[in-house]
Structures are given as C-alpha cells and as structure tokens.
Amino acid sequence: MKRLLATLAACAALVLPAGAAEPVKTLRYAFRIAETGFDPVRLSDIYSRTITGHIFESLYTYDPLARPTRIVPLIAAGEPEISADFKTFTIKVQPGIYFADDPAFKGKKREVTAHDFVYSIKRYADPATNSQGWISYEDAGLVGLGELRSQVIKAKKPFPYDTEVEGVRALDRYTMQLRTKAPRPRLVESILAGNDLYGAMAREVVEFYGDKIMEHPVGTGPYMLKEWRRSSQMVFERNPAYRERVYDAQPAADDKEALDILAKLKGRRIPMIDRVVVDIIVENQPRWLAFLNNEHDFMERVPEDFLTQAAPGGKIAPNLAKRGMQAVFTLAPDMTLTCFNMEDPVIGGYTPDKVALRRALSLAYDVKKEIRLARRGFAIPGQAPVVPGTTGYDAEFKSEMSDHDPARAKALLDMYGYVDKDGDGWRDLPDGQPLVLTRNTEPNSLSRAIDELWEKSLRAVGIKLQVKIQQWPENLKAAQSGKYQMWPVGSTAAQPDGQGSLQRYYGPASGTQNLPRFKDARFDAIYDRMQALPDGPERDALFKEAKRIAVAYVAYKVHAHRMLIDIEQPWMSGYRRPLFWQDFWQFVDIDESKRPVR
C-alpha cells in the first residue's frame, strides 16, 4: 500500500508545462486482474481489451448513452452502403484521421486509410497470430479469406498480406468493400463496431515491432500507452494528435440519468482528461480501501465482499452518498460460467455416462447460495448461455441449469456407475479408478469463496475436488491448450446480438471462444443458419433450440448474470457503464479543484 500511495502521489504532483493554466486531469483506478498485452488481434480477456479500446478505433462505435444501444460512425464517413441481399458492404473512411506519432512512421504523419482496415482484418486470418477473434471473421464468411488462410496453413508459409481477397478489398484510399458468401444482416455490429478488437492497425507498426507488438499499441484513439509495469501499473496520456471531436449522444427521452450527463457534457471536446493511471490490485480489500481513501477516483465493479457496505438494499450507502459519491447500477450483459473440458478423459465426452457426470456436478452445485453468499445478492441465476440485453435472451426461459438437487445428482451418479467401489467414502469412476476432479482457479477472495462452495457441494454427493491456483493468464493458456478439467470464467457480450454468446459452443471456434471444445453437428447447423437470418420469429426459435442443446450437454455450467455497481468520486462525472464496448475514459471528466488535498 505504501508503494501505491507513493506512486499515486507522484502522479498527483504532475503539472502541465510552464505557462499552462490548468492542472493535469488524471483518472486513477484499478483492475482486479492483470492485463495480457495490447495487440487486439491476440486478445480475449476483458482487461486488456479495455486498454485497447482507448488506443485503437474501429469504423463504427456505440452511442455512450443510448439504451437500447445505437451504433454510430466513428472512423467511417457515414452509414455503410448495404446490398439488398446483405452480401456486399461498402464503407467510406473519413480522410484526415491520423495514427498517433510513433518511431515506426519515421517522423511522418500517418493517415488511416481503407487499406489499414483491410490489413487489420487479414491479421485475424493469419495463422501466425493465433487470433482468438478469428472465429468472428470466419463466421462472417468473407469471400476468399478463409480459403486463403487454409492455403497458408497447408503450405506452412507466411501469410501473403499483399494477395487481394475478393471479400476484403480497398476500392480506393478511402473506400473499403466487404463481400460475404451468405447474407449477413448484422455484419456491422459483428466485426466493424468495437474499438477493443476491431480497430485499425498500421502494417509498418506491426512489422517494426515484430514479436514485441503486444507491448507497442499504436492506434488512432484518444490515448497512448506511456508507461507499463507488467501486472502492476499502466499509465496512459492523451494523444496530442487526436482530432477535433466533441461529446454527443442521443439517449432515450425518458432516461433522466443519461439526459443529466448529456446536459453537462454535450459539445465538450473529448477526451476531457489528460492522463489515466491503472493499477493492478488483485485482492479486493486493498482495492476497495484505495478507493475509500481517495487514492482512486473510480471504483469499477465494487468487489463482492463489499457490495452490502457499498449498496445496502440496492441503494448507495448513506455514508458514501454523504461524501458526494454517485453509484451506477447495471444488470450486465454477461454471465459467469464453469467450463468443462470436453476432451478430458474423465469429465469430457458425449456418451450418456459422461453427460450424466456433468449434469450431476451442475445439480450438486447451489447457484442461489453463491448469489446469496459470494455475490451478496447482486446477481440473477443463469438459465442458458445467452445474456441480458441481447437478442435471444428470454427472461422467462427456465432450465435445469439453475436447479440445485443433490438427490437427483446422486441418483444420476449411481445410475451410471460412479459409486464408491473401494469403501474410502469417495465415489470412483465406473472402471474403479479414483474420481478426483481438478478445478483451476485464481488467487482472490471471490474465487476462494466459490471454490469452497464447489468443494462442499461435491463432497455432499461423494466427489473429491482439488483446486489448482494460478494467475488468470496461466489458466487461460491452459484452457486454450485443452489442459484442464474445470475452470470458472466470465463472459461479457461484445455486441447486441446474442449469437456471440453461442459462439462459445460452436465447433469451429474450439480452442478460442469455445474453450470446452464442444462439438455438435446439430448445434453448428443451427448456428450457421442463424447467421443468415434477419431478426424475427424464425431466428428466435433457433435460439431456443440452441439453448436446449447447450443445457443438455453441460459443456458449461452457467452460474449467474451479475448486477454490477460502479462508484464515482464526487470530482468525477459522466460515467455510464459500457455494455457491448470497453471504452469510456474519453467520455468522463475530472474536476481537479474538488479533489481533496493529500
């Protein structure tokens, strides 16, 4: 804590160059999990994506206040021109937008063009990047791109970036055209909106930094990485070359919270703050105390341990309100999950006995107790792998996923031969080998609380559970390589369409979004058919069928959809939790005159 205070004090002492009238506006807050890097193509974790969302920019973005969400042009010079069959998309790029200065540009200003977006899309297809986001482009069915990727894999040669691809072309300096094999009514929201993953990258930057590109993000966005101490602290500064851009939004007419923000900030040049300092504080207590002690300006997602202190009865605590703090409550478009490795010889597989084991594990676990104890009541039980606020989510849908029924769990285990064969008090596998499950987990208080609930739940039905504690990046690597049995993860929607959540079960996404490596031909056929359909009753029926398959096989145990609470200090204003995007720094303000002197 002393090191943190010293660092923050040093940041607070920073001032603008001589002659400047205003102090540096600095936003300070903390992540609970460390970043993995800053190359959008290689990322899947929300923490790294929060960073890249402020450095890079996509063609389209989201209105910061509109609910329901609204997609608006960012680097695009207007709405896309879309063919009647939803197969051809032509987008104009605004001229006069530049990348941040970087040694890769050799002292020259570098304008972003349509060619940069073509190059950035091709990077997702390059096998060498091992991109977690490739599946989204594969889903899009861009003509010729998947075929080129397959050729590269087969030939074991470098990706030919200069080869023209019919489905991803720059018609001229400022015009990009995408062509798909089948109708894609939601192409814009699926691969063109969201700075964190779909921002433009310059080829010369990628080639200049080579295998160090994860450490050198260079985009057109409002902020630049200035300092980085891995898994400890990141410092960002306003991009001095950022173009003239002002705050604007179109919230709903009855959305008072959003209208109040708009009235205060409309027309202000963005970004409004000069500097952002992000600390990594894994443990909840020091992170919460840093906020209460005014060392941080913002508490992003109050830790579960302190939810009842922060918001008893679902309202901000009187002592915090008295200090002038503001709380933002959001039913997040997310879900918490336990994923089961479908290729593991013990817990994986599709035969009735393997499905019965996973069903029994799910029934043995008490999600409502997790919500009540570990999450302090700030969540709702999950019934299926589609999240609130997205198409396909149905608040009335009920499944076995949220049931707690130890008796039924024991009956399933008995029926399929998972019984105690050696008399030691623990169930064994049908072949007589010991049944011991391993749950990968992280070293934080919430994980410990949920691990304990899992251990007690499984012990109650006679199953031995051990935990393997590692940092999140190590667990991610294990999951991506298929070297795990059980792992808890969170999933946040990156777009308003619920099909993105179903990607977690899509066979071709195995090893990337599909961490369990679930494979089911019926599910894949439904998923493919949904891609081409416009929103409507036929597509809604397919959502229901996909959810039923997901619930039946239990490749994931869906736990809960979280109610998140974020709190601003009285000198911070303008925050509204992003839903399907990660960037917000440019939309908030800091009044340094109200900050207490330390």
Q: What is the pLDDT of residue 12?
A: 42
Q: Per-residue pLDDT tens for 390-440?
A: 999 999 999 999 999 999 999 999 999 999 999 999 999 999 999 999 999
167 has pLDDT over 70: yes
Q: Per-residue pLDDT tens for 558-583?
A: 999 999 999 999 999 999 999 999 99
| Average confidence (pLDDT) over 349-368 | 98
Q: CA 355 → CA 110, 234, 346, 486, distances in Å?
A: 55, 44, 11, 15
- Identical fold for domains 37-219 and 334-562, yes or no, is no
Whose CA is closest to 338, among 528, 475, 493? 475
Inter-axis angle of helices 145-155 and 114-125, nearest 10: 50
DSSP state, residue 471: -
Domain ranges, ordered by start, for the chain? 37-219, 334-562
17 has pLDDT over 70: no
What is the pLDDT of the chain when averaged over all its residues?
A: 94
Phi, psi (rounded to 5 degrees) for 584: -150, -15
Q: Which residues pair with 356 in a beta bridge?
A: none
Q: Per-residue pLDDT tens for 283-327?
A: 999 999 999 999 999 999 999 889 999 999 899 999 999 999 999
Phi-psi sector, 339: left (phi>0), alpha (psi -120 to 50), beta: beta
User: What span, in angstroms and rounded, lies between the C-alpha atoms of 154 and 384?
Assistant: 38
Residues of the chain above pLDDT 70, percent: 96
Choosing among 3.40.140.10, 3.30.70.3270, 3.10.105.10, 3.40.50.10680, the CATH entry for 334-562 is: 3.10.105.10
List of long-range contacts for 516-521, beta carbons under 8 Å, 24+ apart: 516/339, 516/340, 516/341, 516/342, 516/348, 516/555, 516/556, 517/341, 517/342, 517/343, 517/482, 518/342, 518/553, 518/555, 519/342, 520/350, 520/549, 520/553
- Other beta carbons within 10 angstroms of residue 286's beta carbon come to 15
User: What span, in angstroms and rounded, lies between the C-alpha atoms of 81 and 67?
Assistant: 25
List of long-range contacts for 316-321, beta carbons under 8 Å, 24+ apart: 316/567, 320/567
Looking at the structure, give the CATH architecture of the domain made up of residues 37-219.
Alpha-Beta Complex (3.90)
Q: What is the pLDDT of residue 224?
A: 98
| Average confidence (pLDDT) over 124-146 | 94
| Average confidence (pLDDT) over 462-471 | 96
Q: What is the pLDDT of residue 22?
A: 62
Q: What is the pLDDT of residue 10?
A: 43
Q: Per-residue pLDDT tens for 432-453?
A: 999 999 999 999 889 999 999 9
| Contact status, residue 181 vs residue 144, Cβ threshold 8 Å | no
Q: What is the pLDDT of residue 13?
A: 42
